Amino acid sequence: MVKFAKIADYLSLVKINHTIFSLPFALIGFFLAVKTNGENVSLRLLMLVLLCVVFARNAAMGFNRYADREFDKKNPRTALREIPSAIIQPKSAMIFVIINALLFILTAYFLNFLCFILSPIALAVILGYSLTKRFTYLSHLFLGLGLGLAPIGAYLAVTARFDLLPLIYSFTVIFWVAGFDILYALQDIDFDKSENLKSLPATIGKHNALLLSALFHVIAIGMVIFGGLLGNFGYLYWIGSAVFTLLLFYEHLIVKPTDITRVNLAFATMNGMASVIFACFVIGDLYLI
């Protein structure tokens, strides 16, 4: 029972359910690459890609919790997280980060040489995000960049080469994630100001932050449309794109400068649904049309 409880604590530490944001786009990159190469789906390769996503995210989220532990302790919203509440010790969290980082590099080695040599760079990006709020207002875009590595990384795992279309989906993720991370940061405006943390909502205010979030989501939708035209997709792709667009539009309807009580609904539920549904329709279009 103790071991299971510990595993549950670490899964809670890294919010394993939030993998739903990047994983569907990684699958888009993977199946797009398989289709582009005219190959059959390799279950071995697919499992390695999934493991890379999980290990990378575990390392990134674990480091985020480690780096922010003193801030989390002061913030009433985050004071009950695993490290501030002493469920997990900081040293144990860092060991968890190191293990997952090494497993990520090792897994990348079994993909191909290009993925292997790029894996430390990917780690630097996804771990580095956790420090960005200390010195730049663009931390939300850095988070988007970290998650945006998923589709191009999965594509490289299959093809070992860069192409434009998966890069389009990486840019989609960058602006999509940055947009909803701005919404999430609305909850901590006062705390970020008091600690001199440089989030955009704390810097430009709720109203302007919401406008910028909407602009980022418009750019993300534009990237989805560009990707559909560039890839010459069929009707399933465009149905998925329409659902993705409507869900992003809805989350901006339910979060207002005067009412941010539904931020978590917009952040987790709407965006989780958007990524999963979009990925299902894109993959369906690749193999059914």
Residue for token pair 């029972």: 1
Task: Report mean pLDDT in 10-residue bins for the chain, 289 residues.
Answer: 67 87 96 93 96 96 97 96 95 96 98 98 97 94 97 97 97 97 95 95 95 98 98 97 97 91 86 96 93
Domains of the chain (ranges; CATH) run: 2-288 (1.10.357.140)
Residue 57: per-residue pLDDT: 95
Residue 79, phi then psi, degrees to nearest 5: -65, -20
- Taking the model in full, what pTM does it have? 0.95
CA distance 199 to 181: 10
Residue 3: per-residue pLDDT: 47
CA distance 126 to 173: 14
Residue 1: per-residue pLDDT: 39
CA distance 283 to 254: 30
CA distance 227 to 208: 29
Residue 17: per-residue pLDDT: 81
Residue 265: per-residue pLDDT: 80
Residue 269: per-residue pLDDT: 87
